[in-house]
A and B are shown apart, each in its own frame.
Chain A
Amino acid sequence: MIRTLLSALAVTAAVAYAAPAQAQATLAQVKARGSLNCQVGPPTPGFYALASDGTWSGMDVDICRALAAAIFNDPRKIQFQSVTSAVRFTSLANGESDVLSRTTTWTAVRDTQLGLEFAGVNFYDGQGFMVPKASGVKSAKELNNATVCVLTGTTTELNIADFYRSNNMTFKPVTAENENVLVGTYLGGGCDAYTNDKSGLAARRSSFAKPDDHIILPETISKEPLGPVVRHGDNNWGDIVRWTLNGMIEAEELGVSSANVDQMLTSTNPGIRRLLGVEGNIGEGMGLTKDFMVRVLKATGNYGEIYERHVGPKTPINIPRDGSLNALWTKGGILYAPPFR
């Protein structure tokens, strides 16, 4: 997961292109175009994976699918664009894409200075270390004087430097701009530890010939709340993305899923009735239809379904959800959607 620090380019692009972009509201543009421009990154398993038949799928891709379903009632009306992390904000800012959904960390600088708006968090992540079991290392504190493989040009590079400096330890980085190269280095014994976001570590470990020979150390050295991003300034569009995401989380909490959404329409639970547009009119207020969440849930399912489908224990990625930050607040996590009312 590549998380470049602010590219001042993006700052800029945002301000400069804000005017033409605002001339017409994003929702109107998307409707006129007939498809949603969704920006993802170079394929990353679990979040924006590319399959051999050319289709994209994953946690972050499903945010876009949900949006397309909410707007067009068709989750396939999306044009995907994959760009490197270095130009992702520029590309969003100058209107090449409508929403950026690619494991982007929500930081203050990005939110306030780059002309971007974060619409929420769809995955709580944090940077960690993976080491071979045979090394006997049990804690990141034991990694003094170690050689560490780190992806270049990302916040991981700065996080690890901070971690070592604050603990008065030294390390030797082995860097590469490509994850395949870096993992090859780690497996070839070119470094003692491999550092990345823990979700990425888990995804990677599942691809090893012997996954059990490697362990992910318990320490988390950074906070990485990942979520979809839109251009600053179009509040309506921001609302649509934010409440589509919140709706999927709320649906899980209320027990509404893709399987039972039709029965739930007759539910007497006022929370469910408001979410599905049976009561109240949240959807039309945003320029969508009343039942936009019904469309979303039929197309992609609730948050829990998405999680299980792409990164859950039944997938090769295998990131357990119970007890992690990504569990619902009712189950010990911090996933919490503001109420639909």
Chain B
Amino acid sequence: MAIVESSSLRPAPAQAGSWLNNAKVRAVLYQILTLAIVVGGIWYLVSNTITNMSQRGMSAGFEFLGVSAGFNISFTLIPYREGDSYLRVFQVGLANTLLVAAIGILFATIMGLFMGLARLSNNWVIRNLARWYIEILRNTPLLLQIIAWYFGVFTLLPNPRMSLAWSDLFYLNNRGFYFPGPVPEPGFGLFLIVLAATVAGAIAYGVWARRLRERTGRILPVLWPVLGIVIAAPVLAFLLLGSPLAWNKPVLQGFNFRGGVNVPPAFCALIIALSVYTSCFIAEIVRAGIESVSHGQTEAARALGVKPSRTMASIILPQALRVIIPPLISQYLNLTKNSSLAIAIGFPDLVSVWMNTSLNQSGRAIPIVAMTMGFYCAVSLFVSLVMNQYNRRVLLKER
């Protein structure tokens, strides 16, 4: 009764005075209000900061980037000497972080794939080993794991004089891993051009082969020809150009090896810890991805007479990848961010060398924090852009 009354007697919306009830007007009001609060808040913080900084004689400028930093860095991908500027320190830290991330991602993916498959194994021992490997490593803090690996690496390796050597070229000891460093000689540029050309050619061939398959159904062999071209042509070019690459061998001198390339233990420990930790998450992603593809797909492929190898490559994997890739990329981002824990074992990554040492030595909190965060934001934004492209491409096309 009441309901009927209210609905039948409800007055027609009043023309005037009801603009507050208009959804659009209200939306605009809400937004103006929110914006005002946020802008006001930011203004408040900024004005406080400016007052505080001027009172304390602090400078938010970037002019300190040209000043000599005066400390040494234990591992640098790009050349650095003490006495170089803070800007150089930033670049060194950035390069180191990117290097750790790239290598860590490579190893984490390989290990994650294996562990994911082991988790699905028919073998009880392997299946449970993989399970406990994942459970233990996933449920303990990464910071503790990094420290543990760091000491693990030490206790297992001998000192420099008792190095594990392999044919005078490779040495492994508790100062790290030494191997010959390449020194380019004239003609090396040409070799690089040939290399790039063959890779580009191989990719073009692959794309053409796929198009041909999609258009006509004819299947051309891809893997072996491509591998052949990519390996054979550069090797040939290298020999023809007279081997334009010298090797700088590590030699034991006094306390340490000199020459060659040295990978310090902190770096090894960081890579192992990051890739092992991340591989646990990747393993679960891989497992979920493969389990997400319905068994009917395999059966259907078999019924159509598709070869088992091709079933995996052309039917199961593409479908599993659609489930696997997005969380996988977010794990890659996590790994990159987690590399900042290098500070605990003194590997000079961006946070350790820039946000800790440089900040302590120069005291320029604001520019240093802004540059560090800017770098991580840029990486993350770039990756999300790429991801969005990918997602658009693989989006399930429902008909």
Contacts and interface: CB of A to CB of B under 8 A. Distances in A.
Direct contact of A and B (CB under 8 A): yes
Interface string A150-178: 00111001101110010000011111111
A73 interface: no
Given A11-B57, A16-B52, A146-B255, A152 B344 contact: no
B360 A86 contact: yes
21 contacts: A5-B360, A7-B363, A8-B364, A11-B363, A12-B56, A16-B56, A144-B254, A145-B258, A147-B175, A147-B256, A152-B346, A158-B361, A161-B71, A161-B72, A165-B83, A172-B72, A175-B74, A178-B344, A188-B154, A190-B175, A192-B255
Interface in B276-325: none
Given A145-B253, A145-B254, A174-B266, A157 B175 contact: no
A32 to B, nearest CB: 27
A176 B82 CA distance: 18
B391 to A, nearest CB: 40
Contacts of B356: 152-153, 177
Interface string B66-91: 00001111100000001100000000
A264 interface: no
A152 B358 CA distance: 10
Given A12-B57, A181-B345, A189-B154, 8 more contacts: A7-B359, A9-B365, A15-B56, A16-B52, A173-B73, A181-B346, A188-B154, A192-B255
Interface in B38-79: 52-53, 55-58, 70-74
B72 A152 contact: no
The 7 closest A-B pairs by CB, nearest first: A12-B56, A8-B363, A188-B154, A176-B346, A175-B346, A153-B360, A189-B159
A184 B74 contact: no
A184 B72 CA distance: 21
The DSSP consensus for interface residues of chain A is: mixed
Interface of A: 4-9, 11-16, 86, 143-147, 152-154, 157-158, 160-162, 165, 171-178, 181-182, 184-185, 188-190, 192
Given A144-B254, A153-B357, A8 B344 contact: no
A208 B46 CA distance: 51
Contacts of B359: 7, 86
Nearest to B56: A12
Contacts of B265: 190
B71 to A, nearest CB: 5
B74 A174 contact: yes
B147 interface: yes
A177 B83 CA distance: 22
B264 interface: yes
B92 to A, nearest CB: 13
Among B72, B159, B258, max chain A CB count under 10 A is at B72
A154 B356 CA distance: 10
A143 B58 CA distance: 39
Contacts of A171: 72
Contacts of B345: 176, 181
Nearest to B146: A181
B352 A152 contact: yes
A177 B346 contact: yes
B380 to A, nearest CB: 25
Interface string B353-392: 0001101111111000000000000000000000000000
B329 interface: no
Given A12-B58, A152-B356, A181-B344, A173 B258 contact: no
A185 B151 CA distance: 7
B174 interface: yes
B357 A152 contact: yes
Given A9-B363, A15-B57, A157 B346 contact: no
Nearest to B59: A8
A174 B58 contact: no
Contact of B155 (A8, A181, A188): A188
B177 interface: no
Given A172-B74, A188-B174, A190-B175, A13 B56 contact: yes
Contacts of A188: 151, 154-155, 174
A12 B48 CA distance: 13
A142 to B, nearest CB: 9
A177 B360 CA distance: 12
A154 B159 CA distance: 28
Interface in B234-266: 253-256, 258, 264-266
Contacts of B352: 152, 175, 177
Which residue among B56, B357, B361, B362 has the maximum number of chain A CB atoms within 10 Å of its CB?
A: B56
